[in-house]
Amino acid sequence: MTQSRNVKAAIAIAALSLPLMYGLLHVVDGVFARMAVFYAVATPACLLAVKLDWKKLLRDLPRMAGLGLALALVLYCFAWVGFGLIRRVFPEFAAQSHEFYGWMRDDGSLVMWLLILFVIVGEEIVWRVAVTLPLVEKWKHWGVLAGAAGFAAMHLPWGPPLLILAAFVFGGCWSFIIWRTQSLWCSLASHLLWDAMVMWIAPLA
């Protein structure tokens, strides 16, 4: 009963996120502010709509966060190699990364970094916890693909194709991580460190 309700809620969240993001495109200026508004609406809606075992998802913080940080380093290496390959084979496609890095150069304030932090936490709660977990419970690895596709689709209204590809690939990785570990700390730590490395510590472009 709960599983069926959660799956319906997950599909509804994924389906509604795209029109909501298209709507926000015309109302809120700035990518990070727009995403923050999106997650300010979507996160409480998800917490109300999907019933999950939070005790299990939030267990063993130090060990799961440590595993997540280690996985973030592996994913960063994967991103470095993948982006290197794209840059060599499809240089024009890789050049889209300048648009993404441009957004951060244009702002760079503390408020922007706080917004990014809020967005990452929102992404994990909405896409990994509320959407992916119910879907993988019913459809196993197809649920991972569906969660990643929904996460990538949410970037469609405003993101360049390179960012949508990255959202699909790494969204899929974080979906897989939360599926296998059943820990929000693990996917959240992995996402936070990976984003910090790609955006700030060791940018890819």
Residue 48 binds another protein (CB under 8 A): no
User: In terms of CB distance, is 81 or 205 closer to another protein?
Assistant: 81
| Shortest CB 166 distance to another protein, Å | 17
User: In terms of CB distance, is 55 or 88 closer to another protein?
Assistant: 88
| Shortest CB 61 distance to another protein, Å | 26
User: In terms of CB distance, is 44 or 84 closer to another protein?
Assistant: 84
Distance spanning both ends of the chain, measured CA to CA: 48
- Give how far the C-alpha of residue 68 lies from the chain's centroid of Cα atoms, to the nearest Å: 14
| Shortest CB 177 distance to another protein, Å | 15
Residues 72-111 within binding reach of another protein (CB under 8 A): 80-81, 84-85, 88-89
Residues 111-150 within binding reach of another protein (CB under 8 A): none
| Shortest CB 164 distance to another protein, Å | 22
Return the structure tokens found at 26.
Answer: 């015309």
User: In terms of CB distance, is 58 or 95 closer to another protein?
Assistant: 95
User: In terms of CB distance, is 9 or 204 closer to another protein?
Assistant: 204
Q: Which residues bind another protein (CB under 8 A)?
A: 80-81, 84-85, 88-89
